[in-house]
Amino acid sequence: MSNINKVVLAYSGGLDTSVILKWLQDTYQCEVVTFTADVGQGEELEPARVKAQKFGIKEIYIDDLREEFVRDFVFPMFRANTVYEGEYLLGTSIARPLIAKRLIEIARETGADTISHGATGKGNDQVRFELGAYALNPDIKIIAPWREWDLLSREKLLAYAEQHGIPVEMKHKQGGSPYSMDANLLHISYEGRHLENPAAEAEEDMWRWTVSPEKAPDQAEYLDIEYANGDPVALNGLTLSPAEMLAELNRLGGKHGIGRLDLVENRYVGMKSRGCYETPGGTIMLKAHRAIESITLDREVAHLKDDLMPRYATLIYNGYWWAPERSALQVLIDHTQHSVNGWVRVKLYKGNVIVVGRDSATNSLFDATIATFEDDAGAYNQADAGGFIKLNALRMRIAAKLNKS
């Protein structure tokens, strides 16, 4: 253990990572650097600094990563219309490569030889953090306390905290929230306790960002979203930064009960897990992006993207953001987005995102003179369709004759 000199700890200031901080000092006798990432979780982060200082931490990083998170991770993912297992918009998964990147950067800046995180040995996050770290620094050492220590219950963590004078908020002593939660600008997730029974409906008072569709406004609200190179850049005529855009879409979507999900997913480590998610802004973005692509992408390009998307989604879910195959897919995806420019109008109403209009002044492939049901003045010769159909039916006609004989 003496070969560990300095550790950068991904530190939230909560019970788990506060215990980890002290445990690292006691177990490895090493210097600890704390890193707290602001990815839009909506919590006050300065208390983490105070807690770290209490235990003699001299190098404390609290970084506002909201713009980088949305610009360089969320938006690229949404260019692919990414959905895991048909439903999950990957809110937790997409924040992990950014945190891993910053852990490695801070280790380099501070001369640390090791990083540490609070992910458990049962979850996906340990894989995501560590795959990312090794991809960015193959020589980095990693300490995952949940795979080493014997503090494997809430009671043991609380006892350790009390023994070592680690401040614990009263909510922990009283049982606190019944859920394990993760939040960032893209989503908030809920797992554990009541939700561990997949047959049980989540309580209404669990949800934090969205009203129930039943209590959403009776009046629909319209949004105009402008796209440039596949990314939303303006909302109702107002240009917004990536983080501002997602935050405002979260507010509007939450107001109308949009973006709730109750899912049993397949974790990379092999088990099934039930989680609930709120992704109001992401739900709007996915619907709107597919709408603008519908008039600006060539058919086969759009279908190719749809074919590749599940593979791309699985790479992100499993922690391979920094892998060469994800980078290669991203080049293709980003290339397709050069023509994805224009605007989309959506209607928000009681949990629904309804596309009601879309147009592109520069890149629309929709030709009304050809698509019309009225007289097209010769723009399309309908007689051509006969030969097209016969050629495409040729193999089936041959097979049918063989079967008949």
By annotation, the residues acting in catalysis are 16, 96, 125, 180
* b (16+ CB within 10 A) / e for 176-204: eeebeebbbbbbbbbbeeebeeeeeebee
Question: Could you give the residue ranges of the DSSP H alpha helices within 218-279?
Answer: 242-255
Tokens of 157: 């963590």
Tokens of 150: 């014997």
Do β-strands 352-359 and 342-349 pair in parallel, antiparallel, or remain unpaired?
Answer: antiparallel
**Angle between helix 46-54 and 15-28 (nearest 10):** 30
Tokens of 364: 């629309």
Four-CA torsion 9, 276, 320, 97, nearest 10 degrees: -40
Answer yes or no: are the C-beta atoms of 103 and 95 closer than 8 Å. no
**Phi, psi angle pair for 186, to nearest 5°:** -85, -35
Tokens of 302: 């759009």
In sequence order, the β-bridge partners of residue 84 are 88
- List strands edge to edge, sheet with 352-359: 238-239, 231-235, 221-228, 342-349, 352-359
**H-helix or E-strand spanning residue 347:** strand 342-349
